[in-house]
Structure 1
């Protein structure tokens, strides 16, 4: 049986922490205002000091950058914006020299419309050899081609507007669940899957250690492509029932494992980004016996502060909803599957602004609390660049400050429909993906040490006080709290392997749980006050006076029962397992 067979009892990544780098915004070495591979190489010691085990590299492939690199025009190259393949090889070697691993972003639900596969599919016409590599359909019968409503179905794009764009030469439409420059591949065609598998093997042969798979649960579509229901107030139908975890998704992923990963003696990491995946489906995807994926990214917990209008209709998060969601995932995957744990990534607004308190008074403490709660759940934690500094949302003032296609399309569509521009901007300030994409804050100099040129998007002005240089010198900083959490994961088996039990599920301010590891003889208690006021809480029997492993409050008092937690206080206690 291959060494990387996913039935292995304890894979290396269960005890690991993954650090995501968004290359465009991490570090610019050549003063063009855009981050690059050499900039990453120059800052790898930051990851090593943090204790990260894996670097997840967001796309660096050649791309027109309609969606900042998630529209790929060549799967086996490096965009000149970021460097060369030789630079990538140097980065990979430098990562491995530090005892870390590197995983690539795999974006194979769609390509760029400038990828040679798509240009051949389009230019060859309906009878061309690569036509069936993408999803083409004639216009809807009885509707004038090229007019609204002539699209083959009524689905709406994730990036606003319809999911179909008409090719004037052939009169047919191609499907794109995202931007029009991101046509969806046709995974029903075995030639497409074989080409994807060959590309994956090419990168693995180069030495990469696995893949994070972008929206991978969308690759299987119902071939009938039926209309979807139109939600109240919406302009387009919801087609998700036809493509979220579609009819052949498990077959496709099992084939990928068999044709790609099973052929390598080293243990690789595979994580699938899966919008709208259920606990039950995720359990099946990550069950080692099924040989599909190691873990999935689910979106349930980062959707709890969205109103009826979606992510740009934000509402306050209820802590009981968060505990119910994360607790359900902890229970649902226990004993079979595996969770990925995250607050932030390149698609999410900054967690300390969203779920914590980014005011000067409580920013450090609330950022450390969010980290404590997340990293002590069962699963593999992901740290997004700047999260370990408590980086916050940016003070965008006008639509010209934004760069993200999703935000720009939403603003244009809403204003055209009569919405108040300032109200639309308020929602974008809270939830735009650009909040995650402002440059990494290395020091207090101009542009935060990210570049000596003009950055592609403005650096958050708070970099004068919130930056890596300052935090490395401060033992009480967010950075050092993350470092201590990661060290705890590496040294205390209960963090990785302990059972999870939620406490106080109905409390709107206290997040508390235990991790019990009978084999290691250890039990952990996590207590967190997710509010700006002191809160008295009950403590389970036998925990008063136990060892304090980690806290985000200086000179924290010994644990009593009951115990009053300070605003945004988090603490971890340890005792012998009973």
Structure 2
């Protein structure tokens, strides 16, 4: 399909004390250097990493630095590693997270042990980086310290579950585009429109520096389990937003099962296999990922192109933009509404460009009337 990085959710042994559900939450870590035996053996994981590398893919794993399970060995051996309330009791980081307790990053020995554990997976298994859970709940200066230590072992890729700009200053390569995800949902419900998307791209998104990667997504493990599948949340616009999220500036995320058109909410604390099946989304993702790799206009950071909105006669419903770099060009034209929309461009748009999905050359002249069906889109490339 063209996937470049595999993000594997936590593979550590899960705590048993105060466990949620049958399997528990994989974010309730009992051993930072262990492999959950329910998933396989350390040798199995090493083989997986080696196989991914042989296919040209990188592997990052989920890292839960903010809290541990109640039965992590540190609870008894180093209780000073944890925050406590006025009664001297361990505390969950969030009231609903009763299966975990929060770590205390004012303790320098804890920091050293956490960095040691992070380095362990690089040296022992050869992984390529981390997705760091609730990164904004851990002091940024710790992440800066950890990144410097990891880079001395090998170059790493770091994804923060967070959206604070200071995460990019030293520690992280990529952060979540949460505001954009929320905006997709509001547009799908008819509460916002294409002009709101343009305002977001010209405003909040501009606060990130040029080489800050932003993770663009229409689903993930949290969204699917707690808020619904992309089909529930985005309705008939699901495919439209899937394609759009692969063309905007940033790095797209494919959550396991999206390529199979998964239509169910996956259980968070129970075993819940995905029904793997042929689905049109697989071909769409494959085409888009190939374009992302081969068309420099879509490359990340300063290696890629800025996106420039193209004015239409119907900007409230139509979001059209161009990205051009080194002779490469991608033009996206999206009807962000549930109604058929007619519009035209003030300037010529496409000359010598071909439709990404049909391969046919298309020319769009100034003033030419264009009709797009509800949630229809065009992607033109050169």
Q: Which TM-score applies when normalising by structure 1?
A: 0.57
Paired residues, what number? Answer: 361
Q: For residue 383 of structure 1, report the CA deviation from its aligned partner.
A: 0.8
State whether structure 2 residue 322 is matched by structure 1 residue 514: yes
Matched, 1:344 2:219: yes
Shift in alpha-carbon separation, 1:554–1:521, aligned structure 2, 3 A: closer
Counterpart secondary structure, 2:221: coil
Deviation at 1:569, TM superposition (A): 1.7
Following TM superposition, by how much is the alpha carbon of 1:322 offset from its aligned partner in structure 2, in angstroms?
Answer: 4.2
Partner residue in 1 for 2:136: 217
Q: 1:138 aligns with which of 83, 86, 98?
A: 86
Deviation at 1:439, TM superposition (A): 3.0
Cα distance change of structure 1 residues 326 and 70 upon mapping to structure 2, 3 Å threshold = farther
5 Å-filtered alignment, 1:364-443, equals 366-394=237-265, 403-404=267-268, 439-442=273-276
Q: Which structure's relative contact order is higher, taking Cα pairs within 8 Å and 6+ residues apart?
A: 1
1:182 counterpart (100, 109, 112)? 100
Instruction: Write out aligned runs for 1:306-321 (5 A).
Output: 317-320=191-194, 321=196
Sort the Cα spacing of 1:305 and 1:483 in 2 relative to 1 into closer, same or farther, 3 A.
closer
8 Å contact kept, 2:217–2:242: no
Distance 1:173 1:207 in 2: 34
Counterpart residue number, 1:531: 337
Q: 1:545 deviation in Å?
A: 4.9
**1:492 alignment counterpart:** 295
> CA contact under 8 A between 1:272 and 1:296: conserved in structure 2?
yes
- Spell out, residue by residue over 1:456-494, the C-alpha distance to the aligned partner (whole angstroms, 9 max, x if none): xxxxxxxxxxx2xx33xxxxx221111010111111101
**Using a 3 Å threshold, how does the CA distance of structure 1 residues 56 and 336 change in structure 2: closer, same or farther?**
closer
CA contact under 8 A between 2:90 and 2:102: conserved in structure 1? no
Distance 1:555 1:522 in 2: 17
d(CA) in 1 for partners of 2:233, 2:261:
12
CA distance in 2, matches of 1:531, 1:57: 35
Residues 461-476 of structure 1 correspond to what in structure 2 (within 5 A)? 467=277, 470-471=278-279
Cα gap change, 1:403/1:379 in structure 2, threshold over 3 Å: closer, same or farther?
Answer: closer
Change in Cα spacing, 1:106 to 1:504, as seen in structure 2 (3 Å) is farther
Which of the residues 54, 70, 74 maps onto 2:31? 74
Distance across 1 between alignment mates of 2:335 and 2:253: 22
Higher Cα Rg, which structure: 1
Partner of 2:66: 109
**Equivalent residue for 2:120?**
202
1:258 aligns with 148
CA distance in 2, matches of 1:438, 1:353: 19
Name the structure 2 match of 1:95. Answer: 52
Q: Distance in 2 between matches of 1:182 and 1:102?
A: 26
Of the candidates 62, 83, 89, which is equivalent to residue 172 of structure 1?
89
Q: TM-score, normalised by structure 2?
A: 0.85
For residues 219-276 of structure 1, what are the alpha-carbon distances to aligned partners after superposition, in whole Å with 9 as ceiling and x for unaligned?
13xxxxxxxxxxxxxxxxxxxxxxxxxxxx2x222211222x22134x31101101xx
The one-character-per-residue Cα deviations of 1:86-114 (angstroms, maximum 9, x if unpaired) are 11111111111111111010111011111
Cα distance between partner residues in 2 of 1:315 and 1:483 = 28
| Structure 2 residues not aligned, in runs of 5+ | none
Give the conservation status (yes or no) of the 8 Å contact 1:527–1:572.
Answer: yes
Shift of 1:326: 4.5
**Contact 1:524–1:572 (8 Å) recurs in 2:** yes
Once the two structures are TM-superposed, the CA of residue 546 in structure 1 deviates from its matched residue by 4.3
User: For residues 81 and 322 of structure 1, do their structure 2 counterparts lie closer, same or farther at Cα, with a shift above 3 Å needed?
Assistant: farther
**Preserved CA contact (<8 Å) 1:368 1:481:** no
Question: Could you tell which deviates more after superposition, 107-116 or 555-564?
Answer: 555-564
Structure 1 pair 539–382 and aligned structure 2 pair: CA distance change class (3 A): same
Assess, with a 3 A threshold, how the Cα gap between structure 1 residues 564 and 270 changes in structure 2: closer, same or farther.
same
Distance 1:316 1:391 in 2: 24
Query: What's the counterpart of residue 381 of structure 2?
Result: 574
Q: How does 1:231-310 map to 2 (within 5 A)?
A: 249=140, 251-259=141-149, 261-265=150-154, 267-274=155-162, 277=163, 281-282=164-165, 284-286=166-168, 290-304=169-183
Does the Cα contact within 8 Å between 1:110 and 1:176 map onto a contact in 2?
yes
Other structure's SS at 2:35 match: coil
Matches of 1:509 and 1:258 in 2, distance apart? 46
Q: Secondary structure of the equivalent of 1:111?
A: strand
Go from structure 1 to structure 2 and tell me whether the alpha carbon gap of 1:368 and 1:548 turns closer, same or farther (over 3 Å shift): farther
State how 1:15-26 maps to structure 2 within 5 Å. Answer: none
Secondary structure of the 1:340 match is strand
Contact 2:189-2:234 at 8 Å conserved across structures: no
Residues 44-90 of structure 1, C-alpha deviation per residue, up to 9 Å, x if partnerless? xxxxxx11011100012100363521111111111121111111111
SS of equivalent residue, structure 2 residue 321? strand
Contact 2:183 2:197 in 1 (8 A): yes
